[in-house]
Structure 1
Amino acid sequence: MSKDLSAESSQPRERTRYRRKVQRCLDTLGRMLADGHFSFPRRQIGLEVELNLADEKMRPSMSNAMVLKALGNPFFTTELSQHNLELNVPPRPLAGDSLLHLEQDLLAYLGEAGDKAGEFGVQLAMIGILPTLAPSDFDQKWITNNPRYNLLNDRILAARGERTVISLDGAALPGCKPERLRAYAESILPEAACTSIQLHLQLAPEEFAAHWNAAQCLAGVQVAVGANSPFLLGKALWHETRIPLFLQATDTRPVELKNQGVRPRVWFGERWITSIFDLFEENVRYFPGLLSETDAEDPVEALESGQAPKLSELRLHNGTVWRWNRPVYDVVDGEPHLRVENRVLPTGPTVVDMMANAALFYGAQRALAVAERPLWTRMSFQAAEENLYAGARNGFDAQLYWPEIGWIPPDELVLRVLLPLARDGLRAADVTEEVIDRHLGVIERRCVTRRNGAWWQRETVALAQRHGADRDTALAVMLSRYLELARTEQPVHTWPIE
């Protein structure tokens, strides 16, 4: 979603017109794919980073409008809650030392934003879920002042017909019993608790299916190794609690529709694909429109006149189906292109940790996508989905399924299989050895030590509680120390437990 929406977009007549336009856009996309309307001069990557704002007491700071105004940087924008920001980094090639320059650019952008926020006593927090959030932070009044956010909130709640329900059972802290969370919210703001890094890769149409299938295969190990979201509303829950929380926060299904097997809008999918068209077609077939805004363009007429159609309605609809690996159609400088958007990873803990996660993903995805015998021909789709939830729930303690190996912990899978694949994939993409060694070296040491952001947060809170702190105090102390260590830009596996 990239534009403001009018209240009229929820009217029945407009929704009917919108449905017809979405279908016409889908037909046009099919024609573009069949007739070869996509150019692919070079492989481009892009990055989005969602951020939290925290005040001096480590509570969420509802100040994004103030910080954005002071910052005045067009690469930063709002997100759903007033305690969120988003950074959109300009795209660039994958080859060469581009990942190293991307790391440097991220440090510069975030440093500038951190300095401006600091003028108001606010800190940027690169963390999957801000651990000091309270139920009151999910009040609808904290939705960012933008019509599209309020309309999205109203449409999701109206479709479900009842309050947002958050129901989770946790993975126990060291020496403690498992914890449970049962909470309700009168808005979709629990979604805003989930901050992620989103990795984009531009692809030729004929490459898309293999890269998307590969990304699905990698999702479970990505979240297990990169987990950084173990706390929500004072409870120790999954190592990557973002995964179930995002699903529940945006769920438009009441219990009866869940029982009927209706698909959730936060969706892993249900099958391997042979074309990007499969994904857009499923989105149109299975999910009703939430934001029914239409524009004046006739996509067929635009295509026949030699223009790249915007396909605005299809893109808007696609933006309200939150696949963990999302297909993207976009037009830049009059040229249409396709991207896969990887959405499973949390933000943080540091820029170098995020770049290491990106290098592992881009490299292993490339290697799997061009393999002579595709991995997904030897692995059920359900096994890939189960890996996602196992990795999110248990982090390094998970057991993941991998063809010809069987059940294996994520650290061993990465060290034995995925790191060599990632090196091969990055070399095939002409990434320099310096970049490969730097970023994949971080992943290697993280797996050897079995320490990621979720591990550090859980151990630090457990230690504080053993020293007599209550949970709220322990979380605030942990977050304060987390922000101090993040500023050192030392990767999380080196962080001490104090």
Structure 2
Amino acid sequence: MGQVVDRTTFTRRDRQRYRIKVQRCLDSLEELLRTYPFPETEPMTGVEIEFNLVDPQLAPSLNGLDVLETINSGEWQTELGRWNLELNLPPRPLPGDQWRQLEHELLDLLAGAGAKAGDLHTQLAMIGILPTLDVGHMVGEAISPEERYQALNDQMLNARGEPVRIDITGCDPDERINADFETIIPEAACTSMQLHLQVAPSDFGRYWNAAQCLSGVQLGLGANSPFLLGSQLWAETRIPLFEQACDVRTPEFHNQGVRPRVWFGERWIDSVLDLFSENARYFPALMPLTTDIDPAAQMREHGFPELPELTLHNGTIWRWNRPIYDSTGRTPHVRLENRVLPAGPTTVDMVANALFFYGLLRTLVESDEELWRSVSFEAARENFRTAARHGMDAPLYWPGTGWIRPDELTLRKLLPLAHEGLARWGVGSAVCDRYLTVIERRCVTRQTGASWQIGTVAALEDRGADRFTALHGMLERYLCHSAANEPVHSWDLPG
């Protein structure tokens, strides 16, 4: 939700006008998809990475605005929490060695931003959930002061009508978080890497279906969020935390089956229009800001519309694989936004995760045997939740194989498919080898960011440290490894 929001209160008439306008946008989008000559262009990708900020004691630092001002770069922006920043990397094509260059560019950006943050006694941390967060940090004063965040907070709480309840139990039932919060600030504890891929509208349904199939594998191999508020919970605790932090349903609406705004979905699709139609059908407005833009008139005059109401509405529905309509360039386009993965642990790990995903997508989409025709949507959704809970130990269902762990599935079947897909994209062979080898070694060692964090905290506790001290000791080691850009499979545990 990147649009400018200059209001925090809305009337009943605002909501009525907005609903009508969203439907007009949807009608124009349907016409656009039917009639517009979308060009066949080189596949463009994009990356957004969310960061935590920590002070010299490794507690969350609330000086995000000061750090942003010091960095002074349009690629960086605020996020919901004062201890967060987001980096938006410029779009780039997939072929050649573009993603090897991206790794170098990202390392340079982080070095420059890190040095400037260091002048303010602040450090950047790429990790799914900051393990040194405590309840005292999760207060309204920690929300960034921009009006759009205040408006979002107010509208979500008004819709819910009661405090935000976070209730997550780990694999050990003694490890549990059960707490109420008066704001949506728990959402700020979740930091992710978001992958974008521009696709032809006619192909979008197949790409989204394939991405849904892969979400469980992505979490199993990329989990990096095992600790929240001092408790060891899921391998990727970010998943249930984000779902609960953004849940505007009361328990009664939940029991009635009302759809959540953080949503895996409920069926395979044929078109991107299916998802935008679901948005309009199932989800009331959170931010009913209506413009004077007439999408039908824009279609007649310019050939394509902006659809601001539809895109704003879409930005308040957090699908794990989300459709994006973008009209900011010379021609409109649609793209897939994959929101499954956490931030970190390192730049090389994140690039490896991205290319593994892009390669598999291409192969699955172009396969004559469409994978999603051989697995139920419920099985794909269960894979997603099981992987979030158990990480590398998750039993996933895969057609033709049955139940299998994500590391075994990757080594036996998926790595060759990822190589094949990247070759079809035109990615250089040296680039494929570098990053897919990182995935391979992670599977062989069975060490993810989550398993390393858990193992390190356990080792420090075995030495006599309490949980608070162990988490700080773990994070200190984590930040050193991350800054060195050593892939997580190579990180040592304390002896």
TM-score, normalization by structure 1: 0.98
**Whole-angstrom CA distance in 2 between matches of 1:115 and 1:96:** 31
Q: Which runs of 4+ in 1 moved over 3 A?
A: none
Cross-structure match for 1:104: 104
Q: 2: CA distance between counterparts of 1:293 and 1:492? A: 44
Instruction: Give the Cα–Cα distance (whole angstroms) in 1 for the partners of residues 400 and 326 of structure 2.
Output: 38
Residue type matched to 2:247 in 1? D
Q: Show the counterpart of 1:80.
A: 80
**1:355 equivalent in alignment to 2:351:** yes
- Residue 299 (structure 1) aligns with: 295
2:264 equivalent in structure 1: 268
Partner residue of 1:475 out of 467, 471, 479: 471
1:357-372 alignment runs, 5 A limit? 357-372=353-368
2:82 alignment partner AA = Q
For each residue in 1:53-77, what CA deviation from the matched residue of structure 2 results, as whole angstroms up to 9, or x when unmatched? 0011110000110001011000000
Distance 2:457 2:437 in 1: 28
Aligned residue runs from structure 1 range 305-316, under 5 A: 305-316=301-312
Where do 1:361-400 residues align within 5 Å? 361-400=357-396
State the distance in 2 between where 1:497 and 1:151 align: 44
CA distance in 2, matches of 1:465, 1:411: 28
**Which residue in 1 is equivalent to 2:330?**
334
Contact 1:196 1:343 in 2 (8 A): yes
Amino acid at match of 1:447: C
Q: Is the contact between residue 48 and residue 193 of structure 2 (CA under 8 Å) also seen in structure 1?
A: yes
Q: What secondary structure sits across from 1:85 in the alignment?
A: strand
1:332-374 deviations in whole A, cap 9, x for unaligned? 3331000000000000000000001001100001110110010
Q: Secondary structure at the match of 2:339?
A: strand
Between stretches 336-345 and 34-43, larger displacement belongs to 34-43
| Uncovered stretches (5+) of structure 2, i.e. residues with no partner | none
**Equivalent position of 1:7 in the other structure:** 7
- The answer for the alignment partner of 2:457 in structure 1 is 461
Q: Secondary structure at the match of 2:131?
A: coil
Secondary structure of the corresponding residue to residue 252 of structure 1? coil
Give the 3 Å change call, closer, same or farther, for CA 403–105 of structure 1 in structure 2: same
Instruction: Report the Cα distance in structure 1 between the residues aligned to 2:149 and 2:8, rounded to whole angstroms.
Output: 15
Which moves more between the two structures, 42-51 or 178-187? 178-187
Matches of 1:21 and 1:38, distance apart in 2:
24
Q: Give the corresponding residue for 1:424.
A: 420
Deviation at 1:178, TM superposition (A): 4.8
List aligned pairs for 1:88-127, cutoff 5 A: 88-127=88-127
Residues 372-397 of structure 1: CA deviation (Å, up to 9, x unaligned): 01000000000000000000100111
1:161 equivalenced with 2:157 (yes/no)? no
1:131-146 aligned at under 5 Å gives the runs: 131-146=131-146
Residue of structure 1 aligned with 2:240, choices 219, 234, 244: 244
| Deviation, structure 1 residue 307 | 4.2
Counterpart in the other structure of 1:170: 170
Instruction: Write out per-residue CA displacement over residues 129-156 of structure 1, whole angstroms, 9 at most, x where no aligned residue.
Output: 0001111222111110111101101111
Shift of 1:40: 3.4
Tell me, in whole angstroms, the C-alpha distance in 2 between the residues paired with 1:39 and 1:248: 40
Which residue of 407, 414, 417 corresponds with 1:411? 407
Counterpart of 1:159 in structure 2: which amino acid?
Answer: A
Q: Which aligned pairs between 1:5-44 and structure 2 lie closer than 5 A?
A: 5-7=5-7, 10-44=10-44
Q: Corresponding residue for 1:230?
A: 226
Alpha-carbon distance, 1:306 to partner: 2.1
Q: C-alpha displacement at 1:7, in angstroms?
A: 2.4
Matched, 1:184 2:190: no
| Count of paired positions | 494
How far did 1:488 drift? 1.0
Residues 8 and 151 in structure 2, CA contact (< 8 A), matched pair in contact too: no
Deviation (angstroms), 1:417? 1.1
Q: Distance in 2 between matches of 1:8 and 1:460?
A: 44
1:180, 1:3 → 2: CA distance?
36
Structure 1 residue 324 corresponds to structure 2 residue 320: yes
8 Å CA contact 1:6, 1:293 repeated in 2: no
Alignment-derived partner of residue 283 in structure 2: 287
Matched, 1:435 2:431: yes
Q: CA deviation at 1:8?
A: 6.0
In structure 1, distance between residues paired with 2:52 and 2:60: 7
How far off is 1:12 after superposition?
1.2
Q: 2:247–2:260: 8 Å Cα contact kept in structure 1?
A: yes
- Counterpart CA distance in 2 for 1:65 and 1:8 is 21
- Name the SS of the counterpart of 1:413 in structure 2: helix
Q: What amino acid sits opposite 2:144 in the alignment? A: T
- Letter of the structure 1 residue corresponding to residue 103 of structure 2: E
Deviations 1:380-431 (A, max 9, x none): 0000000000001001111000001110011001111111110010000110
> After alignment, is 70-79 or 298-307 more displaced?
298-307
Contact 2:323/2:335 (<8 A) preserved = yes
Aligned identity (percent) is 54
Q: Where does the alignment leave 5 or more consecutive residues of structure 1 unmatched?
A: none
Cα distance between partner residues in 1 of 2:226 and 2:97: 33
* 2-structure distance, mates of 1:428, 1:178: 48
Cα separation, 2, equivalents of 1:199 and 1:50: 12
- Alignment match, 2:203: 207
More displaced, 347-356 or 331-340? 331-340
1:219 aligned to which of 215, 231, 245? 215
Q: Distance in 2 between matches of 1:262 and 1:371?
A: 35
Q: Deviations over 1:285-314 (max 9, x none)?
A: 000000011112101000111243110000
Q: Note the aligned Cα RMSD (angstroms).
A: 1.0
Contact 1:39–1:336 (CA under 8 A) maintained in structure 2: no
